[in-house]
Structure 1
């Protein structure tokens, strides 16, 4: 098993959105990422294996993984897949507005271990698939410009938005009826606070106070807009940071836990396993380069 890292996918000073086309006729070993990946199946079949379990894939199937997630393919039969790699900074900078959209925000935050999205596998309808496939065929494998601004990057961003929009359509509406056409600014602000300081000993009361809403209201808004409660979001962010440190440093597991806000080693191991179905030590052994 191996890990695919940012430096191996994105060229120096290149665009943070890259697409590649693969044809797979045999199993691929599990690997993890430190960026967001969307995989679109345009032909053949396979079984997708993740921490969330197994899922059969065919034309139109979409999988989405957050940083730290691992996956692989089994029983590949003439599988043709486009991988779209997205640097996490894209949704903090160029496409920050995506996180304020209740439909797309929920998609971004419930990927990963919840990759089956609460029983609703992601797929593109035939019309959207044709648009995405045509766009990816035009851009995948082409040389990358030196910097990301410009028409080529705009095309990749447009394809990404089409892919995200089509995938989000596969999710059922929230039964509580809390979702709206616009995201609440308190949710965006709270998410940014958690991302910027995962080590802090956050609790719901402190987070709500920081964005000037009541704890109960923030919890309701957060879950309706992003599909997960605030403290689950924090746990996911901590697990992602821990996964990167396990691969990129030689720090002891306990020290990594403290760096991301988990001061009890046993608790840290339980929380990490919850998201990635592996202990921190097992994750490092499997995905560290040369491991």
Structure 2
């Protein structure tokens, strides 16, 4: 339940999607991950604790955590939960197109403190539960295509629990400038990006890019960049012995005080406290 590193979950050469089933009868201590986790409750109840606060869980509740997000469970009453672990590369390779869908884009990019309280309706839950049960309990390797299919069913079901698309778009198609801008930020998080420069690079005006980006991914472009930096910093805090100031510089935050404030904004802990609390063996 406390595996936090990519190498502990995804074996070399193995598929970057893994499912596990847990039955929890007692509290679990808070822990973090450097990959995406989708936790689907199929039975029992508990209270979920994270930087976003506390949330009551029951059958159908879904929690999505992006890299760096920490969480734990308390008051577990025979909580049955399936964890679906997903490497970020899945959403930058075969499923990169998901960001063009406004509903799915918001599910993927607004987890954590500003995220949604996701649920699956009974029909979607039955489909997802069947797929997760077969994948988690299968003695041999599950084909990657099957894992991707389960992930898509889960994301589609949770997207349906969100409010109506604020753009009013019923086609499910987003603007290509959003995908292009997101890729630019992902490919160079160290760069001192500003909104004007980013908008110019994708040939739209800054206000228009902000409106498109927020509608499609749930957060403005500069907040998205801050989240990418915080996620990378969180991984480096767990995986390396680099000083906090050096990690800040590596992700594009050159002022240590500013870096600490931005990191705390996303994870509700200072970088030093995060390392102390979540680093294995720390």
| Alignment partner of 1:124 is 2:124 | no
Partner of 2:31: 31
Question: Whole-Å Cα distance in 2 between the matches of residues 276 and 178 of structure 1?
Answer: 32
Runs (4+) of structure 1 moved beyond 6 Å? Answer: none
| Alignment partner of 1:136 is 2:127 | no
| Alignment partner of 1:52 is 2:52 | yes
Q: 1:276 to 1:111 in 2, by over 3 A?
A: same
- 8 Å CA contact 1:128, 1:166 repeated in 2: yes
1:230-249 map, 5 Å: 230-249=221-240
Partner of 1:279: 270
Deviation at 1:98, TM superposition (A): 1.0
Give the TM-score normalised by the residue count of structure 1.
0.93
Instruction: For residue 67 of structure 1, give the secondary structure of its aligned residue in structure 2.
Output: coil
- 8 Å CA contact 1:29, 1:73 repeated in 2: yes
Partner of 1:148: none
- 8 Å CA contact 1:62, 1:124 repeated in 2: yes
- 8 Å CA contact 2:100, 2:172 repeated in 1: no
Q: Quick one: which of 195, 213, 224 aligns to 2:215? A: 224
- 8 Å CA contact 1:101, 1:182 repeated in 2: yes
Deviation at 1:111, TM superposition (A): 1.0
- 8 Å CA contact 1:179, 1:225 repeated in 2: no
Q: Which runs of 5+ in 2 are unaligned?
A: none
Question: Whole-Å Cα distance in 2 between the matches of residues 143 and 179 of structure 1?
Answer: 41
- 8 Å CA contact 1:269, 1:280 repeated in 2: yes
Q: 1:78 to 1:188 in 2, by over 3 A?
A: same
Deviation at 1:174, TM superposition (A): 4.2
Deviation at 1:173, TM superposition (A): 1.9
Question: Whole-Å Cα distance in 2 between the matches of residues 27 and 112 of structure 1?
Answer: 20
Question: Whole-Å Cα distance in 1 between the matches of residues 173 and 201 of structure 2?
Answer: 21
- 8 Å CA contact 1:104, 1:168 repeated in 2: yes
Instruction: For residue 149 of structure 2, give the secondary structure of its aligned residue in structure 1.
Output: helix
Question: Whole-Å Cα distance in 2 between the matches of residues 33 and 143 of structure 1?
Answer: 25
Question: Whole-Å Cα distance in 2 between the matches of residues 263 and 144 of structure 1?
Answer: 47
1:74-85 map, 5 Å: 74-85=74-85
Q: Quick one: which of 242, 254, 264 aligns to 1:251? A: 242
- 8 Å CA contact 2:103, 2:165 repeated in 1: no
Deviation by residue 1:50-109 (Cα, 9 ceiling, x = unmatched): 100000000000000000100000000000000000010000001111111111011101
Partner of 1:172: 163
- 8 Å CA contact 1:32, 1:69 repeated in 2: yes
Q: Quick one: which of 267, 283, 289 aligns to 2:258? A: 267
Question: Whole-Å Cα distance in 2 between the matches of residues 144 and 202 of structure 1?
Answer: 46
Instruction: For residue 119 of structure 2, give the secondary structure of its aligned residue in structure 1.
Output: coil
Partner of 2:97: 97
Instruction: For residue 39 of structure 1, give the secondary structure of its aligned residue in structure 2.
Output: strand
Q: Could you say what the CA RMSD is over the residues aligned between the two structures, in angstroms? A: 1.5
Partner of 1:40: 40
Deviation at 1:180, TM superposition (A): 5.4
Q: Which runs of 5+ in 1 are unaligned?
A: 146-150
Instruction: For residue 4 of structure 1, give the secondary structure of its aligned residue in structure 2.
Output: coil
Larger mean CA deviation between 62-71 and 3-12 belongs to 3-12
Q: Quick one: which of 197, 201, 213 aligns to 1:210? A: 201
